[in-house]
Structure 1
């Protein structure tokens, strides 16, 4: 880019013809002031009066000046000042485009879906200006609700399309041939120039202001009729946006800092989506402290003739001041300036759009130093971890070897099972396929069940057991003879038994009367009342005597049962003698075959048991699971965390066990809780649901294990006490304090977090309250002593009942010496036992503590009843045979 000559050309405003050319040597005290924001561009200079140049400097004439970026900027003379002291004339001129404010009228109208070219054509229609370089910026709509001038309309267009305006003139020879309006994304260039302290940077101030900080931004646009546009409908019913990171830094006691925002736009088609986009942009500006800079710089490009050091309109440069701590690096844009062609020392610039640049090398150096300091005291831990890794590798290697051995053994067992498995086929016809010699058995049911078992041996079916029908006839004849001989003998014994039974019946009537006199409901109640009302502490001897009485009763009871069993055995022997007549020696072969099969099966079972034991040992070596148990959180039975949509609810904190810091150090943590509710949507800022454990160590470092569910829930699904778990490992260093809190935020729906459990281990267990929340040991011991005292009194009453039962047993024992059959006597005895059982049941319903003792008495009676029933069944079988 060539350097401007500094020559000024004066044009006649009516003809557009250049009427004068003023060289730099003919003027002085020149100053050009420009601002990008409002397209301000002014020029002033001084010449001698009464010269050919001064005569052309009249009102409304134009002054053409070439600026540094090569454009020719047209200025209109707005003021002439003559000074008689030094016989000079000062000309003041502004950019000719200011005359667009009087060049036409734009009526109210609504423009929909127009490009920037179309809108500029409307603005410049009927003026001497025409569109120049216009960058495409999609389609936009605008409503003009009042009469405006073309200049104001151009500014609105630039704001709507987010473009910057640039004016220029076209000159051919000595004639102005055109005036052009350019709209570009950004004026100026990324030059990469650095302004450095001591060279072209005279001074810099960094001003940080937190007055306008906010963590939640409420945006709105007011429409005609008093209505407002907000983002409530598309933001889960909330009219404001939040920044969670800013909230964590700036909140006071959990309260947001609210800010308000209403976009400065004439777009009446503003909707909620567009408003949210603008609000996100604005919120990013307000979450941090606002930083401004005041830079005093000097352009050395023309002072020392360094063309590459020139600063042009809109150029982006870098400002460096190493005197700051930390060093300050800025990226800024030249947004205004004063320039003088004749006196470069007067060049001054105003910078804006500052962005602080972080030196990556400096940041990496800080991170590196932090890593070194944190790892400096971790060498011992790393060595220990290496040792554990080696041990784990050795264990894994041993486990692999053992698993290979177990696999080989299991394959051998499978092979043995396959080779020794016997297949039994049940059918009416002989099998013809899949036959294995001495291994396939056929259950022949051609003549009906149960059938005959046959073995495939040497190509034929060899019966394993003999045909029962062949020996059936002979066996029946022999049995008939034995029954006849026995029938006569039993008739004589039955007659003798009937006489004895009548005698026993009389004796039992007396026994019944004695029992009724001794044991009735009134007597038992009196005994129980007397024992239950006694106070004081029982001595060791009294407790011992109670057990002696119970042991004596147990001995008598076992004696009675044994005598009944002896009678049953005698009758069973008689019946067995008849049964053994039907046994034949042919069954020996069957038993031998089955014995061989059983022997092989036992071998297979023994081999399988060996494999099972080996696999069990392997499991023991590799199994290292820790199962938790004790709940370290207090009040989890009564405290929970419930949040509904839109609630700004603080955390719910839970007290912890007193010894939690000691228990948690270097241990595995298992966390769980029950979740109830339904989440229909998650937010986009900072979703969170679950509970978190904040661990503060004595070296002021922190650890945050958590049990969270936001990534595990199905949207729209109703959960009812669904259990979620998580685990973590606590660093092995001293703990200063522990706090636990539940939290749910940034969601749509209802959430209930309850039954929290924090335990030591790797596997979470079902919820239980903390031991501190349960009944005390002293209360438990007191209740136990009261129960034991009541039971001792009841045991004494039961002993009296057992003594009466003993007397009854002595009488029954005398009747057992008689031979076979006690049909009538036994039925009478069963009836008496039932009466005693009923009375014992009455004792059970009276006192809750006697259940166990009475159950033993009932079990004894049941055994007597069972023995009696067996005698009756044997007697019935004999009677059947006699018939």
Structure 2
């Protein structure tokens, strides 16, 4: 569970999960705050190798090895010692030789990251994603970790740090840059299952409806650029008539020749962030992954939070931004951010439309089926029955192969066939012998065709229902 490594890179102690010496061990990781710690409480008699600033190696929730440096030790008279550690990459990369003012020009993600990690003890992971050719610059001395964070902004990626362990040594310390692209994998946190607490807070205090935008300091002798951006709709909703809620906005840019168009674009983007209320959520959920293996949640995933008992019913999409993993109980507590709220009516409307269409098709099909069968049978029977003419006298103007059922004798009807001016007697036991179709056969044929048509309609209805059920926003069967 816990490996202790000295300055020589040797594993000098190991504490297993079943070892009663450790009574608390919690790994915390926050991708928004870029914070990672591991704190544990252990019997003081087992801290021989922890009195120096040694390194600690653990496996996180996903069984990936991570490395920490002992930062603080606190012992009490009860015989236990609290050990606080910080992620080793923070110290290794931050304390490496700083960068002088400069830039990394037209580099790929791996090239830029490789330059930043030079002489830090860390190297680029093969899992680093391609982010194109970019240029980034800085005007003052920067630590390598600060430049690494700048790369995250430049390439629009997030960094992660992990190690690979060999036989009692650390083989590699790796850094990976990848796109922050939260994916929904079907995890829903719902009231009555794993949602244990929910608080929704709406903050109107920081709403702004107008910004005075001030450009960067210009070259000597030039006037500093200023302009105003407003939002009248937001003002009508949140402000007094004619009295805008003002704020000053200065873009974080060293671009001395910024144009008015560029400043207006930046100002409008900033105002769009400030012109509405801020909604925060405090969500508490229990981890049910151990009991239900499909309920897996990873840091950076997108989850959906649903509480129909809330007023109004709450449907929220959120990103997992931090986790606390207890190495002893293997329980995990998650914190969420980047919330996006949905109205129940908006979520249900596509399904309601689908259901209405399905119901209408069903009603149309079943209400018309009797009419369809009746009309079809009448037409078909008239057609087939006209093939044999029934009368007690011969038909006028006959043609070859015309059939006549002679009923002049009411007791015995005789079937005759016309050929070259004569009516030839044709003895037959049933109508099929002379190519006719009985009423029962015609009815059966039409019913068979109707069944085929209904089967096609059923397939179409099943397709429509399947489309609705397979929607990414429907993860339960309660429509």
Q: Same fold (TM over 0.5)?
A: yes
Select the structure that is richer in helix: 1
Match 2:191 to one of 172, 197, 206 = 197
- Corresponding residue for residue 283 of structure 1: 271
1:80 and 2:73 correspond: yes
- Corresponding residue for residue 281 of structure 2: 293
Secondary structure at 2:123's aligned position in 1? strand
Question: Which whole-Å CA distance do the structure 2 matches of 1:187 and 1:80 have between them?
Answer: 38
Contact 1:171–1:177, Cα closer than 8 Å, also in 2? yes
1:71 and 2:35 correspond: no
Contact 2:61–2:325, Cα closer than 8 Å, also in 1? no
1:341 and 2:327 correspond: yes
Contact 2:194–2:286, Cα closer than 8 Å, also in 1? yes
- Corresponding residue for residue 147 of structure 1: 141
Closer/same/farther in 2, CA of residues 140 and 290 from structure 1, 3 Å limit: same
Contact 1:101–1:149, Cα closer than 8 Å, also in 2? yes
Question: Which whole-Å CA distance do the structure 1 matches of 2:350 and 2:129 have between them?
Answer: 40
- Corresponding residue for residue 129 of structure 1: 122
Question: Which whole-Å CA distance do the structure 1 matches of 2:186 and 2:269 have between them?
Answer: 27
Closer/same/farther in 2, CA of residues 79 and 249 from structure 1, 3 Å limit: closer
Taking the TM superposition and a 5 Å limit, the aligned residue runs for 1:541-556 are: none
1:31 and 2:19 correspond: no
Calculate the TM-score normalised by the size of structure 2: 0.64
Contact 2:3–2:56, Cα closer than 8 Å, also in 1? yes
- Corresponding residue for residue 159 of structure 1: 153
Cα-to-partner distance string for 1:183-212 (whole Å, 9 max, x where unaligned): 222176433311122332222222222233
Question: Which whole-Å CA distance do the structure 2 matches of 1:252 and 1:32 have between them?
Answer: 49
Question: Which whole-Å CA distance do the structure 1 matches of 2:165 and 2:228 have between them?
Answer: 54
1:308 and 2:300 correspond: no
Q: How far off its partner does 1:268 sit?
A: 6.6
- Corresponding residue for residue 102 of structure 1: 95
Secondary structure at 2:289's aligned position in 1? coil
Secondary structure at 1:338's aligned position in 2? strand
Contact 1:229–1:272, Cα closer than 8 Å, also in 2? no
Secondary structure at 1:279's aligned position in 2? helix
Question: Which whole-Å CA distance do the structure 2 matches of 1:348 and 1:60 have between them?
Answer: 29
Closer/same/farther in 2, CA of residues 136 and 279 from structure 1, 3 Å limit: farther
Match 1:354 to one of 334, 339, 344 = 339
- Unaligned segments of structure 2, at least 5 residues: 354-479
Contact 1:214–1:287, Cα closer than 8 Å, also in 2? yes
Q: How far off its partner does 1:217 sit?
A: 3.5
Question: Which whole-Å CA distance do the structure 2 matches of 1:182 and 1:197 have between them?
Answer: 36
Q: How far off its partner does 1:123 sit?
A: 1.8
Secondary structure at 2:294's aligned position in 1? helix
1:319 and 2:305 correspond: yes
Match 2:43 to one of 42, 45, 48 = 48
1:260 and 2:248 correspond: yes
Q: How far off its partner does 1:329 sit?
A: 0.5
Question: Which whole-Å CA distance do the structure 1 matches of 2:117 and 2:262 have between them?
Answer: 29
Question: Which whole-Å CA distance do the structure 2 matches of 1:182 and 1:191 have between them?
Answer: 22
Secondary structure at 1:339's aligned position in 2? strand
Contact 2:304–2:317, Cα closer than 8 Å, also in 1? yes
Question: Which whole-Å CA distance do the structure 1 matches of 2:292 and 2:35 have between them?
Answer: 27
Question: Which whole-Å CA distance do the structure 2 matches of 1:283 and 1:216 have between them?
Answer: 7
Aligned length: 348
Contact 1:64–1:75, Cα closer than 8 Å, also in 2? yes
Calculate the TM-score normalised by the size of structure 1: 0.36
Contact 2:218–2:224, Cα closer than 8 Å, also in 1? no
Taking the TM superposition and a 5 Å limit, the aligned residue runs for 1:220-259 are: 220-223=214-217, 230=225, 239-250=227-238, 252-254=240-242, 256-259=244-247
Question: Which whole-Å CA distance do the structure 1 matches of 2:90 and 2:259 have between them?
Answer: 34
Secondary structure at 2:300's aligned position in 1? coil
Question: Which whole-Å CA distance do the structure 1 matches of 2:37 and 2:274 have between them?
Answer: 35
Q: How far off its partner does 1:43 sit?
A: 0.7
Q: How far off its partner does 1:293 sit?
A: 1.5
Question: Which whole-Å CA distance do the structure 2 matches of 1:229 and 1:289 have between them?
Answer: 31
Q: How far off its partner does 1:272 sit?
A: 5.1
Instruction: Give me the CA root mean square deviation.
Output: 3.2
Cα-to-partner distance string for 1:476-516 (whole Å, 9 max, x where unaligned): xxxxxxxxxxxxxxxxxxxxxxxxxxxxxxxxxxxxxxxxx
Q: How far off its partner does 1:355 sit?
A: 0.4
- Corresponding residue for residue 380 of structure 1: none
Closer/same/farther in 2, CA of residues 13 and 265 from structure 1, 3 Å limit: farther
Contact 1:143–1:268, Cα closer than 8 Å, also in 2? no
Cα-to-partner distance string for 1:306-360 (whole Å, 9 max, x where unaligned): 3333433222211111122321111112222322121356x43321111002333
Question: Which whole-Å CA distance do the structure 2 matches of 1:223 and 1:82 have between them?
Answer: 53
1:173 and 2:167 correspond: yes
Closer/same/farther in 2, CA of residues 275 and 9 from structure 1, 3 Å limit: farther
Secondary structure at 2:124's aligned position in 1? strand
Structure showing greater Rg = 1
Contact 1:142–1:268, Cα closer than 8 Å, also in 2? no
- Corresponding residue for residue 392 of structure 1: none
Closer/same/farther in 2, CA of residues 102 and 206 from structure 1, 3 Å limit: same
Contact 2:216–2:256, Cα closer than 8 Å, also in 1? no
Question: Which whole-Å CA distance do the structure 1 matches of 2:40 and 2:351 have between them?
Answer: 54
Cα-to-partner distance string for 1:702-727 (whole Å, 9 max, x where unaligned): xxxxxxxxxxxxxxxxxxxxxxxxxx
Question: Which whole-Å CA distance do the structure 1 matches of 2:326 and 2:351 have between them?
Answer: 45
Q: How far off its partner does 1:273 sit?
A: 5.4
Cα-to-partner distance string for 1:780-825 (whole Å, 9 max, x where unaligned): xxxxxxxxxxxxxxxxxxxxxxxxxxxxxxxxxxxxxxxxxxxxxx
Closer/same/farther in 2, CA of residues 361 and 62 from structure 1, 3 Å limit: closer
- Corresponding residue for residue 771 of structure 1: none
Secondary structure at 1:122's aligned position in 2? helix
Question: Which whole-Å CA distance do the structure 1 matches of 2:255 and 2:68 have between them?
Answer: 33
Q: How far off its partner does 1:103 sit?
A: 1.7
- Corresponding residue for residue 119 of structure 1: 112
- Corresponding residue for residue 13 of structure 2: 20
Closer/same/farther in 2, CA of residues 173 and 193 from structure 1, 3 Å limit: same
